[in-house]
């Protein structure tokens, strides 16, 4: 079974599209798990109507507003499915998405080097967002997908729930954002995914979404941002990517109240020469 997991915050106006797509699935071997991150609109009442309708299995939890990463941690703990598929509240699935995910997963489910499988994201009009997978199938880590095979764009990853339980998102008091890639990168050090060239996830990037305000979110959650870039810097990645990671580390480090010695210790003395470049980006962020 798949747990389709949706973290949501004040999306009552659009989450019905996802619900409709789940009701139309060609395979019913899934549950819909919703974690409401402190919505103040009619989200709770709306989800209760879906539960009452009984068309699909819906489970709902509400928490105080803490951020998507905390909601994911909650969802992983509550999930009953063998697989965990994060689908945002303003997106939806193709009618055969669950069927396709299970079809491809069954081919690797007994190979525990695989953390799961991934399909392709498209826009609502069918335009590809994720890059093309040559030959239709590619087995590699999420890091290698980007840095070795140069596949760009967001993908539609579906992870084994058991693995996500081992890699919870770090939580910093007062911070409401953590890059999801921080956890995906950690998983990629030990596991690979089967990437398939099949469109299963339909989305667009809305003005009220996280992508539209990503820089501000990173600035307001500097400790999570610094942790992400410091870990990326120390991974086996191309030199140019290391430079970018170090620059971005210092870029967001200027938003943190941590001592300079702690910051330097986290990223390494050898990156000190990139601090001025990071500072210039920081100044640009402040005035953007």
Give one DSSP letter per residue of 91-138, joined into a string. -EE-TTHHHHHHHHHHTTTT-TTEEEEEEEEE-TTS-B-SPP-GGGEE
CA 97, chain centre distance (Å): 18
| pLDDT value for 131 | 80
DSSP state of 128: B
Q: For residue range 122-162, what is the model confidence (pLDDT) as tens digits?
A: 999 889 987 889 889 999 999 999 988 999 889 999 999 99
**Per-residue confidence (pLDDT) for residue 206, from 0 to 100:** 66
For the chain, give the percent of residues with pLDDT over 90. Answer: 90
* CA neighbor of 25 nearest in space, from 4, 42, 10, 49: 4
The per-residue pLDDT of the chain, averaged, comes to 95
Helices (H) and strands (E) in the chain, counts: 12, 9
Mean pLDDT, range 166-178, rounded to an integer: 97
**256 vs 212, which has greater pLDDT?**
256
Nearest to 3 by CA among 51, 35, 26, 45: 35
How confident is the model at residue 153, as a pLDDT?
A: 87
Mean pLDDT of the 51-58 span: 97
Read off the pLDDT band of 211 (50, 70, 90): low
pLDDT at 213: 87
- How far is it, in rounded angstroms, from Cα 57 to Cα 53? 10
DSSP E strands, 48-113: 58-63, 83-86, 92-93
pLDDT range class, residue 254, cuts 50, 70, 90: very high
**What's the pLDDT at 208?**
56
């Amino acid at each position: 079974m798949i747990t389709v997991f949706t973290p949501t915050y004040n999306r009552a106006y659009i989450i019905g599209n996802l619900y409709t797509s789940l009701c139309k699935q060609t395979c019913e071997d899934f549950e819909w798990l919703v974690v409401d991150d402190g919505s103040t609109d009619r989200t709770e009442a709306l989800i209760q109507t879906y539960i009452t309708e009984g068309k699909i299995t819906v489970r709902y939890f509400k928490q105080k507003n803490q951020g998507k990463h905390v909601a994911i941690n909650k969802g992983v703990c509550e999930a009953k499915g063998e697989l965990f598929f994060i689908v945002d509240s303003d997106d939806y699935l193709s009618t055969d998405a669950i069927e396709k995910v299970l079809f491809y997963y069954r081919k690797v489910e007994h190979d525990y080097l695989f953390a799961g499988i991934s399909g392709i994201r498209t826009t609502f009009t069918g335009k590809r967002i994720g890059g093309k997978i040559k030959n239709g199938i590619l087995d590699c880590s999420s890091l290698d997908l980007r840095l070795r095979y140069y596949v760009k764009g967001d993908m539609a990853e579906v992870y084994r729930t058991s693995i996500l339980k081992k890699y919870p998102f770090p939580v910093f008091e007062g911070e409401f954002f953590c890059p999801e890639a921080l956890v995906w990168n950690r998983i990629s050090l030990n596991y690979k995914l089967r990437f398939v060239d099949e469109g299963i996830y339909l989305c667009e990037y809305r003005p009220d979404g996280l992508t539209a305000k990503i820089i501000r979110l990173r600035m307001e959650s500097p400790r999570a941002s610094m942790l992400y870039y410091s870990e990326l810097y120390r991974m086996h990645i191309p030199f140019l990517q290391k430079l970018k990671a170090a620059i971005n580390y210092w870029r967001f480090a200027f938003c943190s109240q941590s001592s300079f010695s702690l910051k330097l210790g986290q990223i390494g003395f050898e990156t000190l020469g990139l601090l001025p470049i990071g500072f210039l980006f920081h100044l640009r962020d402040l005035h953007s």
